[in-house]
Every structure is written in C-alpha cells, then in structure tokens.
Amino acid sequence: MRIAMIGTGYVGLVSGACFADFGHKVTCVDKDSAKIESLNAGRMPIWEPGLEALVKSNEERGRLKFTTNLQEGIANAEAVFIAVGTPARRGDGHADLTFVFEAVRELAKVIRPGTVVVTKSTVPVGTGDEIERILREEGVTDVSVASNPEFLREGAAIADFKHPDRIVVGANDQRAEAVLKEIYRPLFLNRAPILFTARRTAELTKYAANAFLAVKISFINEIADLCEAVDADVQDVARGIGLDNRIGAKFLHAGPGYGGSCFPKDTLALLQTADKFGVDQRIVRTTVEVNDDRKASMVERVSNALGGDLKGKRVAVLGLAFKPNTDDMRDAPSIPLVNALVERGAEVSAFDPVAREQAEKIFTGIQFASDAYEAAADADVLVIVTEWDEFRALELDRIADSLRGKVLVDLRNVYDRKDAEAAGLAYYGVGRGSFGRA
Ligand code: NAD
C-alpha cells in the first residue's frame, strides 16, 4: 500500500516507520522543516529506542521518505493518516483541533478521489464527521474518513506498534474498512485482534482507554496514602490485587501522579465531551482532581523528609522525563515538583539520561548534572522522580557518601527500605508505612 503520514512526531514517525517495515511505501510529511531536514540527514528528532535503526533500514530499502511538501507526500497514496498534535486548549481543556483541521484543509487542495483519510491523532467524538464536512465544503467528494486511534506507549513505541494488544478501526464505509484491513494485514496474520467499529465508537474508545488507565493510577495512589496511615505496604497491596485477572497488574504503581503527553490532556478532553453532551463523568473528574493534587503535593514529601524547611537545602532530582525511555517532558510530574522546590528556596541539581535538552527549555535556575552521583554531590536529599533503569542499580553506598544529608525520597518505590538503610540512608518511599505524608 502507498501511505502518507501527516505529522511526523512521536506517533507519526513511529507509525510511518513501522508501516514501512511491514512493506508499505510510506511518505511522512511535516510542516516543521527543521524536523524533516534532520530526518533526511539521518538524525532522529525524538529519542525513542530502536527508532533510528528502523528508520534507516526502511529508507535504504526505498520504503520510507520524508518531506515538507504535502502534494508530493500524498501523491498516489491510498491512505492518508493524520497524526498531528491535539494538545489541550488553554483555559478549558478541550482538545485543540486546530492542527487537525488545518491539515485537512491543506489536504483538501491536493487529495485524489478514492483516498481514505485516517485520523490517528486522538480526537473527540464527532471529529470524523467534522473532517468529512470540511472536505465537502472544500469541494472534495468520494473520500472516506476513518478513525484509527493509536495506543502505543512512548519508550516502547515500536514494540507496541508491531505487537499491539488490539487495533481499533472506526469506519463507516466498506472502502475504508478494506484499505485499513490491508494496511494492518501483517499484524492481522500475527493474530493481533483488529476491532472494526463505527467511527464515533473508535474515537471514544481511545479516550475511554486512557481515562481508565488514569483511574487505575489515581486509585492506587489513594490506596498508597491509606497504606501510609495504616502501616501497610502498597507494593504488596498492588501485587495482591494485580494478580487477580479481573484487575490486572499494570498501572498499579503508586508514585508522583501521572503525566505525559496523553493522560492529562485526554482525561480533560473526555470531560469536555461529557459536558458537551450533558453526561457527567464523575469518576474521571475525580481522577483528574486527585492527580492534580498529588502532583502538587510531592514537594511536601521532600520538605517533610528534610524536617519541613526547604530554604537553602540542596535537592538532587533523578529523572525529569514523564517516564523512562523518553525525552518527553510534557506534563511531567517533575515540573511542578522542581518549580515548587525552587520557589521554596531550595537549590536543585537534576539529572536525566536523555531529557536534559527538553528540560532546559522548561526550568530556570536549576543545575544539570551529568550523572546521578554528580547530582547527589553535597545534596541534602536525593529524590527519585522517574524510574530510569540506571536509577534502579545505583551504588547506594556511593550515593550516601556523596550526599551531605543522608536522605532518599523514592517517589517510584525503586528501592527497599532495608537496602537504603543498610547504606546509611533515611528512606521515604510512597505508600510503604507511616512516613512521608504531608
Ligand atoms: P507531536 O507533537 O510529537 O507531533 C505532531 C507533529 O505534527 C509535529 O511534528 C508537527 O510539526 C506536525 N504538524 C502539525 N500540523 C501539521 C500539518 N498541518 N502538516 C504537517 N505536519 C503537521 O505529537 P504526538 O505525540 O506524535 O501526538 C500526535 C497525536 O497522537 C496526538 O493526538 C496524541 O494525542 C496522539 N497519541 C500520542 C501518543 C504518544 O505517546 N505521544 C500515543 C497515542 C496517541
């Protein structure tokens, strides 16, 4: 199949490269010329494991191209995917569809009859209808519009794309269904479940999935608070419930609250849809509140571990990206924490294995270290914010030697209290006994 991918960000680039790897001919289009130049020079604009090799091998086979020219990009394409950003609109949290509609209007000028337009961006229910309306308004006829939400996770994006739990396709006509079936055939043969639904159903499915995962995280975070009050261990509670197949073990890790480019904005957008249709979603609304409060309260944990005053204290922060294996800083829990530490007069020295460049655009007045031990040097406390693998195997004795104050605040429960204490560190985890609460 010949495929065009409009938007070459985390989702568009990974999806485009994976489709090419399936054997399709893919052209990725982006209006950001710096991004396209960098890709054409062999440099990845994002950090994602395995991506560079995948892009390179498919370019060499002549199956993957990059351009800023939309007309050239979609020439002869049987399917055009839209994978542009849909951030939260400032003020109300509605999904900002400016990029999607802009892309559709540009597309309308050059698209050929018979093409299938597929929305891969996460878009509110009814966006497919609106895309159809815009195309009609621009005089385009005989084009199908389908929804194919993406469920990949940054940091494991290629594996997720190639071995998905399921593929959801929302199509209201047979042509769109047939084209998408052909595009995903290699996965279909691997027995990845492919679910065909009405277009609106597919659009809502993506929001329902992310909202449910967000609920799980907020749920276990509240249970963690209860564990601290009653002297129970949330790690064991999570395991005890997660082994139940009806519950499942994933997304039951207590921590500093969820962040990233999807859950915060998608939960807000779901609430906007609910408002628009007059159907309250109390569980999701509460989840958002719980998470906002949680992220804002992490500074108290650090402060409490230091006796309640942060002024003049030096805080080493390990991990800034919203999760490991990505450089994505969007809505990362590190942002409110680091900003609050600085506001309360602490000095921050931070280290992240790959997100420094992104972080430098966000934080002012903090120092960046080149490894965990340098960050820890002369600090009063070490705070683990993102659970990169390399933070799971720190030499705790060496950390304790570097630190001025012997305190470890482990917001990801990476370490066992006894190991930390054996190294001479006072240990504060999340939901692991009666300590660390605000
Ligand atoms: P991103 O910001 O990384 O990339 C979007 C790209 O689209 C940018 O490179 C931008 O320059 C380009 N773009 C915008 N308007 C354009 C236009 N008119 N023509 C050509 N290019 C244009 O975004 P992302 O993280 O890849 O997310 C894209 C969509 O996928 C969002 O709706 C998001 O919610 C959804 N999604 C993201 C993830 C994730 O983990 N990042 C996972 C699943 C779904």
Q: What is the pLDDT of residues 361-398, one digit of tens each?
A: 999 999 999 999 999 999 999 999 999 999 999 999 99
Mean pLDDT over 40-61 rounds to: 96
User: CA 148 to CA 226: how far, in whole Å?
Assistant: 39
pTM of the model: 0.95
User: CA 77 to CA 112: how far, in whole Å?
Assistant: 9
Q: Identify the pLDDT of residue 289.
A: 98
* Distance from the alpha carbon of residue 229 to the mean position of ligand 1, in angstroms: 42
Give the position, in ligand 1's atom list, of the atom nearest the Cα of 68. 20
Closest CA to 100 of 145, 144, 157: 145
Q: Where are the alpha helices (DSSP H) in 184-281?
A: 185-189, 199-230, 234-242, 263-276
Closest CA to 3 of 60, 56, 77: 77
Would you name the residues annotated as active-site residues?
262
* Distance from the alpha carbon of residue 322 to the mean position of ligand 1, in angstroms: 17
CB 7 less than 6 A from any atom of ligand 1: yes
Q: Identify the pLDDT of residue 434.
A: 56
CB 331 less than 6 A from any atom of ligand 1: no
User: CA 212 to CA 180: how far, in whole Å?
Assistant: 26
Percent of the chain predicted with pLDDT > 90:
96
CB 261 less than 6 A from any atom of ligand 1: yes
* Distance from the alpha carbon of residue 74 to the mean position of ligand 1, in angstroms: 18
Residue type, 423: A
pLDDT-derived band at 191 (thresholds 50, 70, 90) equals confident
The protein residue whose alpha carbon is closest to atom 41 in ligand 1 is 10
Q: Identify the pLDDT of residue 188.
A: 79
The mean pLDDT of the chain is 96
Give the position, in ligand 1's atom list, of the atom nearest the Cα of 262. 34
Structure confidence by residue, pLDDT tens digits, 262-285: 999 999 999 999 999 999 999 999
Backbone CA torsion sign across 419, 424, 425, 431:
positive
* Distance from the alpha carbon of residue 433 to the mean position of ligand 1, in angstroms: 41
Is residue 297 within 8 Å of residue 438, measured between CB atoms? yes
Kindly tell me if the per-residue pLDDT of 438 is higher than 50. Answer: no
Q: Identify the pLDDT of residue 114.
A: 95
Q: Identify the pLDDT of residue 203.
A: 98
Ligand 1: which of 5, 10, 158 to mutate, judged by most atoms within 8 Å of the beta carbon? 10
